[in-house]
Amino acid sequence: MRSDLAALFIIFGGSGDLAQRKLYPALFNLYRKGYLKESFAVIGTARRPWTDEHYHEIVMASLEGFEEDDETKQTFTSHFYYQSHDVTDAEHYETLKALAAKLDDKYQLNQNRIYYMAMSPRYFGTIASHLGSEALLTADGFNRLIIEKPFGRDYESAKALNQELTQTFDENQIYRIDHYLGKEMIQNIVALRFGNGLLSGVWNNQFIDNVQITLAESVGVEERAGYYETSGALRDMFQNHIMQVIGMLAMEVPVNFSAEDVQREKTRLFRSIQPYSPAEIKQNFVRAQYAETTVDGENKPGYRQETNVAPDSQTETFVAGKVMIDNERWCGVPFYVRTGKRLARKETQINIVFKKTGVNIFADDKSDRSAMAPDVLTIYVEPEQGFSLTINGKEVGQGFSLKPDQLNYQYDKQMLADSPEAYERLILEALNGDGTNFTHWHELAASWQFVDAIRQVWDADQTPLPTYAIGSMGPKEATDLLASTDAKWIFDPTQTKNKNCREVCV
């Protein structure tokens, strides 16, 4: 990563939650680590009539968690400028253009610009077209657009948005952010897959029985109910984060680890996902809502009792599904996925469950010589980060029976201390012009088409939504998804732990 880059960041939505909680701390991290030096400036725009001084106070407050002294923080903050701006008002872009040109000279920014859309998606198209029509894009430097999720709410709206953006920006100037791709352990998937002969040789349907992806949240919708009611777990988590994790796990080997090659392989993979008929969707995808539950004697509200949620809401807070990939590598291997709110624990975990091969020659019951736990490779994404391999060993003592043992490698706090936060990593990559960990339009189009088919079946379905208890791992229907095979969900924090394994209980 180059550390001598100069750029002006124009943040649309500079007074918002994302900017304050994620973007300013991420930029400060890049500054204190030396990736941003003197040649950078930030223009925060939003509707509120703030002064630069007030904006500096806001940015300073967002840096509270850092140990650096106030002088360092103030020097960093002095690069920030605020412009009160209504994104629908063409005149405001004239003012923005003049300020951008002034800062370009002052900080020697080489006309490099990063436009960051940190506001409601309904304005993304408007902003992009004004940036074009009011000629904010520079002729000599780079012009890159970072765009937040959600990118549309179905294929048609995503396509329309993309058409609006591409009137001003080329595909290779658009950085569609999915912060999951900035996580250390998600990036580690490709290192594990393509950096180990031991694994790359068995990464296929000959050796892998099934793949399980769990993105579990323990919180409810909190104050985001207004947004969540229009989205639900399928759009909020499955269409982007889960699909991207599937892409990293299942794509073919890219020629190089470059944006062009990785995005091409993920696109090919998404296009290979088996489309389901409406009947197959009902069979292979499950949705549910968390219900009012008594936990430790305390009554916890269900989703429909939450503020700003309709009492008859049909919005799903849980999704589980079976995704099949129709290609030579994965044919016949189910990818089981699930995500939900108010589950037993906040954890993201991936389990690669290998096929049981051979016979168990140690079995007491000679009529069932297949009884043997599968080997499992687990990738711990968060909160813990690391991986483990669960394999069978001999039970210590007299006799001879098998028991699962876990080879466990967890990154400790010290190792992770320097690990960049997802936004920090992705902003630096965008600054360097590296789109490898961003999403191409073709990937999005394919994932929306898959999701739209599910949504249409669910929207037409009049049967009451299944519910699940707060603190569980979802409804019974999610367990039943696996019932037709020999598999079961490997990650189950509601079960008593096997004393020999940390979390993976086979």
Active centre residues (catalytic): 241
**Among the listed residues 145, 212, 152, 200, the one whose alpha carbon sits nearest the alpha carbon of residue 174:** 145
Residues 150-163 as b/e (b if ≥16 CB within 10 A, e otherwise) read bbbbebeebeebbe
d(CA 334, CA 208): 10
Q: How many CB atoms lie within 10 A of CB 233?
A: 25
CB of 434 to ligand NAD, least distance (A): 21
Burial class (CB in 10 A: 0-12, 13-18, 19+), 9: buried
CB of 359 to ligand NAD, least distance (A): 50
Positions in the binding site for ligand NAD (CB under 6 A):
13-18, 21, 46-48, 85-88, 118-121, 148-150
For ligand NAD, which is the closer residue by CB, 52 or 86?
86
Instruction: Classify strands 402-410 and 467-469 as parallel, antiparallel or unpaired.
Output: unpaired
For ligand NAD, which is the closer residue by CB, 16 or 141?
16
Strand partners, 276: none
d(CA 82, CA 87): 14
Residue 243: strand, helix, or coil: helix
For ligand NAD, which is the closer residue by CB, 56 or 304?
56
CB of 410 to ligand NAD, least distance (A): 27
For ligand NAD, which is the closer residue by CB, 60 or 363?
60
CB of 85 to ligand NAD, least distance (A): 5
For ligand NAD, which is the closer residue by CB, 46 or 246?
46
- Cα-flanking dihedrals φ and ψ of residue 154, to 5°? -165, 180
Q: Provide the residue type at 424 as one letter.
A: E
Cα 11 to Cα 77, 102, 423, distances in angstroms: 14, 17, 14
Residue 380: strand, helix, or coil: strand
CB of 404 to ligand NAD, least distance (A): 38
For ligand NAD, which is the closer residue by CB, 5 or 174?
174
CB of 481 to ligand NAD, least distance (A): 28
d(CA 186, CA 179): 10
Residues 290-311 as b/e (b if ≥16 CB within 10 A, e otherwise) read bbebeeeeeebbbbbebeebee
Q: Which residue, judged by CB position, is nearest to ligand NAD in the bound state? A: 16
CB of 227 to ligand NAD, least distance (A): 7
Cα 36 to Cα 1, 2, 115, 150, distances in angstroms: 12, 10, 17, 28
- Cα-flanking dihedrals φ and ψ of residue 80, to 5°? -100, 135
d(CA 59, CA 419): 22
For ligand NAD, which is the closer residue by CB, 88 or 299?
88
